[in-house]
Amino acid sequence: MVADTKKGSPTDDDRTTGLARMMLRALLLAGAASWAAPAFAQDQAIAPDDGGAAPVVTAAAADEPAAQTTPPVASGEIVVTARRRQENVQDVPIAVSVVSGATLDAVGTYNIQRLTQLAPTLQFYSQNPRNTFINIRGIGAPFGLTNDGFEQGVGIYIDDVYYNRIASATLDFVDVERIETLRGPQGTLYGKNTTAGAINITTRAPSFEFEGKAEVSLGNLDFVQGKASISGPLSETVAARLSVTGTSRRGTLFDTYKSTYIQSQDSIGVRGTVLWRASPNLAITLAGDYNLQDPNCCAFAYGGYGPTQRAANRQYPALISYFPGYSVPSIDPYDRLTDADAALRARNEHGGLSARAVWDIDDANTLTSVTAWRYWDWSPANDRDYTGLPIYTAVNNPTKQNQYTQEFRFNHQGDGYDVVFGLFGFYQEIRTSGLQQTGPAASRWLLAPPSGGVCTPTATALACNPAVLNNVVAINDIRLDNTSLAAFAKLNWEFGRLTVSPGIRLNYDNKDGLYDSVVTGTASDGTRQVVSAAPGSPYFSDPWTAAQRGVQASQFFEPQYDAWNLSYDVNLRYEITDDVNLYANYARAFKTGGINLNGVPADANGAPILAAGTIEPEKVDHFEVGIKTQFLDRRATLNVTGFWTEIRDFQANVTNGQFGTIRGYLANADKVRSRGVEADFSIRPSAQFNAYLSGAYTDATYTRFTDAPCPPELSGGTTVTGSQVPGPAGVPGSLSPANCDVSGQVLPGVSEWTASWGAEGNVPSTLFGEEGQFYLGYDASYRSDWSSNPSPSIYTNVEGYSLHNFRGGFRTDRFDAFAWVRNAFDQDYIDLLLAGTGGNTGLIAAQVGDPQTWGGTIRFNF
């Protein structure tokens, strides 16, 4: 068949994309039309299923220390909406943990990063808000710098609205009711096809009784945090809630170059919600939020040196010696010193609007519509060479995103069964305007040194001429248009004590991308020229532009991806007794394919290898069995889960081995596996004491990945050819393999052993005439060592550590005043280790965890 090349003649892909966008527009229009529902609403009370006020958590969850002044109800029931209907968490046949807003406030968990200390199998890593990734059980997102063209494996939902970019979900929590963390694939219940799990955040709904609260926290490092919310009726049918939060803290890392602290916290969040009970069986909730994070951030400290296979005169110790008078501020990362000479910025602004309508058609049927728009504006500035030398003077990728979502769900409650049907539409537009610029130290750092390594006044080596690489500038235009449509359904069918829950999802994804990097540099004749990778282009043979091309060259390509896929799962639950449930799950899930938008490897003629422009979807087979139990009159809970997840075509972040490459690209590893056991225990023998213990063993490995990027100790030398044998690891001047077989090695970012535990006790008493409780609480977490490099490296293995937190104070129904200390024993620990930029120099950069912090909080309810 010959393609029609006439201008304006649509291809099959054009027709498919156009159809998809027409369907999305139809969904959005239907969402808008759903506001006509009041005319058809029947005069009856709002059913609690999937609408109205948020469910009430009536006791501490398995991983949740209590922060209430009143004792729990005897039933110990925790009501959640993890499966799009209200049910006791102990009846949900999946691994799910619940943390209430009261607990978040008590233990000082005010963002997702701190949530990891309460959820052992949740991993959170962040170089800055954009380069942030969240994993569950070691899977979810490729470990490395963010690439706009792929999807997250862990879905973030706030009040039913999907947040596509993790950067837009790094906000401080605002007036949270509860957080449910669901582990394992969730695509048959949630709008986006999340394959590793979902974090489902529910904020407090507007109240028809006047209420409010305010709190202020002060601490060391100039920590100041304020929170306030107020809610009440505007009329008999309309209620509103307004919540604000603000956090400020001095940085934990001192930049000796600029004589200022960096890694600070500076954020503000505002959220407003209006609930309109349009009729007794129709509730419409309108919400809007604005969040701004503008810290002096982000940089790394010197983390060490690990020899590579690069020539000794091009490794870190030799390179540093080429700059007389320069030395790092400290070789101990725990001195918390750096010397970032480039400008730093991490301004992260995001917000949005949503409209949620819940119509209880009758006692058995509920229709829910969720319409939302969100935006994200990322304005960064980075020092990506991790030194105080002007090697890279700018590596910035400011990004703007708009996303639109529309979801419909229809819940039907039958005799012995219930079912949820859903339609989901998503459109995302990302525009990134990148900048990368080298400085006067780049030639000496990045180019081959002269014989003997000494630059004399008469030396002609390009490395001795700062002008060769000074002011080489890459202007990157990166675009993504991303459309996703899905239909899904979930059935719960009861056969006595056995409940069978099959689910299905049909998904269509289309991604259209553009990557256009125009690199310009100064040629040897003093003119500014485009640095082209194509032989025969102007100035291609010029020695200066040839040297510049070895660091970075212009590149243009337009990747495109579209595909349909089918997911399905089945959950089995058997109720042995009212307090003991067994369950087993199988899920076949997909994480949609993606496109590379950070550049791709080039062929011998300098042209981009277009086959690397797209990545295949992940194919997930997930198995899970577990038992959920309660005993001691439901004052004790013990839940145990075993899981086994296999992923084919795992989406991994790799590098192409080109000298000077900064940003990696996405590729598919053959197969990975994550398996393990999780256990959660909690006990509340009386209203005066509660305790909890959660732990997990996770074995997450590359089952087969034979062409992975090599770790630093096996990189940097001349690549082997023919029958040549690679040299020993970490020996300068050795031959390097073209790629490495990491089959059987661990996935990055996941510890084999993790745990969290804590307890709280209280004594009823009276203070200043107020009846209340004196209380003392303790929380701790532990993780064993883990790999901080996509291919495990002897230089980037992070040692295990434990963190311990204490709090104590006095509370009544009206106020709570307490002191707290976090990382009480001032444990030195690492958040992240990275191999330094510049081509296998052996430099290791370290992101150091927070030191001991302490302070006090006072909270009022009215």
Tens of pLDDT, residue by residue over 477-516, are 999 999 999 999 999 999 999 999 999 999 999 999 999 9
**Does residue 447 lie in a domain region?**
no
What is the tens place of the pLDDT at every residue in 599-645? 888 887 888 888 889 999 999 999 999 999 999 999 999 999 999 99
Please check whether residue 450 lies inside any domain of the structure: no
Cβ neighbours of 542 (radius 10 Å):
18
Token digits of residue 119: 């959820």
- For residue 236, give every residue at least 6 positions away whose Cβ sits within 8 Å of its Cβ, in sequence order, or none: none
Could you give the CA distance from residue 305 to residue 840 in angstroms, rounded to a whole number?
11
Q: Minimal CA–CA distance to 556: which of 518, 511, 589, 523?
A: 518
Strands (E), 234-344: 238-249, 253-255, 260-262, 265-279, 282-293, 301-305, 337-338
Is 750 part of a structural domain of the chain? yes
Question: Is 819 inside any structural domain?
Answer: yes
The pLDDT-based confidence of 84 (bands split at 50, 70, 90) is low
Residues 6+ apart with CB under 8 A from 583: 93, 94, 571, 572, 573, 574, 624, 625, 626, 627, 628
- What span, in angstroms and rounded, lies between the C-alpha atoms of 287 and 817? 31
The answer to whether 797 and 844 are in contact (CB under 8 A) is: no
Look at residue 705 and tell me whether its pLDDT is greater than 90.
yes
In this prediction, residue 10 has a pLDDT band, given cuts at 50, 70 and 90, of very low
Q: How confident is the model at residue 120 (pLDDT cuts 50, 70, 90)?
A: confident
- Residue 355 pLDDT more than 90? yes
In a 3-state reduction of DSSP, which class is residue 36?
helix
Cβ atoms of 69 and 772 closer than 8 Å? yes
CA-CA distance, 764 to 144, in Å (whole number)?
50
Q: Look at residue 34 and give its three-state secondary structure.
A: helix
Contact 131, 145 (CB under 8 A): yes
Tokens found for residue 237: 């049918």
Average pLDDT over residues 7-33: 46
Burial class (CB within 10 angstroms; exposed 0-12, middle 13-18, buried 19+) of 611:
exposed
Q: How far apart are CA 293 and CA 350, in angstroms?
A: 9
Q: Which of 89-98, 352-361, 586-595, 749-758 has the lowest mean pLDDT?
A: 89-98
The percent of residues above 90 in pLDDT, for the chain, comes to 67
The SS3 of residue 397 is coil
Q: How far is CA 206 from CA 157, 237, 371, 670, in A?
A: 19, 11, 19, 49
Q: Please name which of 663, 671, 673 lies closest in space to residue 707, comparing C-alpha atoms.
A: 671
Residue 465 lies in a domain: no
Q: What distance in Å separates the CA atoms of residue 120 and residue 135, rounded to the nearest whole number?
A: 11
Q: What is the pLDDT of residue 36?
A: 39
Residue with tokens 């139990």: 629
Structural domain includes residue 852:
yes
Answer with the residue of higher pLDDT: 109 or 408: 408
Q: How far apart are CA 737 and CA 791, in angstroms?
A: 14
CA dihedral 323, 326, 327, 328 (to 10 degrees): -100
Q: What is the pLDDT of residue 245?
A: 94
| Whether the predicted pLDDT of 710 surpasses 70 | yes
Distances (CA, A) of 620 to 478, 487, 671, 738: 30, 19, 10, 29
Position 664 scores a pLDDT of 63
Mean per-residue pLDDT of the chain: 86
The answer to whether residues 84 and 50 touch, using CB atoms and an 8 Å cutoff, is yes
The neighbour count for residue 752, using CB atoms within 10 Å, is 17
Domain count for the chain: 1
Q: Which pLDDT score, from 0 to 100, does residue 455 have?
A: 87
Q: Is residue 458 part of a domain?
A: no
546-568: average pLDDT = 93
Least trusted range by pLDDT, from 12-16, 583-587, 744-748? 12-16
| Torsion angles phi and psi, residue 544, rounded to 5 | -70, -50
Q: How far apart are CA 230 and CA 46, in angstroms?
A: 24
DSSP-based three-state secondary structure for 462:
helix
pLDDT grade for 7, boundaries at 50, 70 and 90: very low
Task: For residue range 642-671, list pLDDT tens digits in order.
Answer: 999 999 999 987 754 433 334 467 889 999
Helix (DSSP H) and strand (DSSP E) numbers for the chain: 6, 44
The answer to whether residue 772 scores a pLDDT higher than 60 is: yes
Q: What is the pLDDT of residues 689-702, one digit of tens each?
A: 999 999 999 999 99
Q: For residue range 248-280, list pLDDT tens digits in order.
A: 999 999 999 999 999 999 999 999 999 999 999
Q: Return the SS3 of 547.
A: helix
Long-range CB contact pairs, 440-443, < 8 A, 24+: 440/390, 440/466, 440/470, 441/323, 441/389, 441/390, 441/391, 441/466, 442/390, 442/391, 442/392, 442/466, 442/469, 442/470, 442/472, 442/551, 443/467, 443/468, 443/469, 443/470, 443/547
The verdict on residue 446 lying in a domain is no
| Under 8 Å between Cβ of 782 and 771 | no
Q: How far apart are CA 499 and CA 633, in angstroms?
A: 24
Task: Name the 3-class secondary structure at 611.
Answer: helix
Q: Please give the pLDDT value at position 161.
A: 93
Indicate the range of 125-139, 424-438, 567-581 predicted with least confidence: 125-139
Q: Please count the other Cβ atoms lying within 10 Å of the Cβ belonging to residue 671.
A: 17
Q: Which domain holds residue 762?
A: 12-438+471-861
Write a three-state SS string for 689-707: EEEEEEEEEEEEEEEECCC
Residue in this structure with the two tokens 């001349």, named with its chain if needed: 718
Per-residue model confidence (pLDDT) at position 32 = 44
Instruction: Tokens 């040897």: give the residue.
Output: 524
Q: Using only C-alpha atoms, what is the Rg of the chain?
A: 28
Lookup: tokens for 837: 């930029």
Percent of the chain at pLDDT above 70?
88
Q: Alpha-carbon distance 28 to 369, whole Å?
A: 10
650-653 long-range Cβ contacts below 8 angstroms, 24+ apart: 650/139, 650/618, 650/702, 650/705, 651/142, 651/150, 651/591, 651/594, 651/615, 651/618, 652/142, 652/143, 652/705, 652/708, 652/790, 653/142, 653/143, 653/144, 653/145, 653/147, 653/790
pLDDT band at 815 (very low <50, low <70, confident <90, very high): very high
Q: Which of 49-63, 96-110, 310-324, 567-581 has the lowest mean pLDDT?
A: 49-63
**Residue 436, strand partner residues:** 395, 474
Q: What is the pLDDT of residue 338?
A: 97
- Give the pLDDT confidence score for residue 62 in this predicted structure: 32
Strand partners, 465: none
Would you say how long the chain is, in residues? 862
Max mean pLDDT among 60-64, 403-407, 662-666, 769-773 falls in 403-407
CATH number for the domain including 608? 2.40.170.20
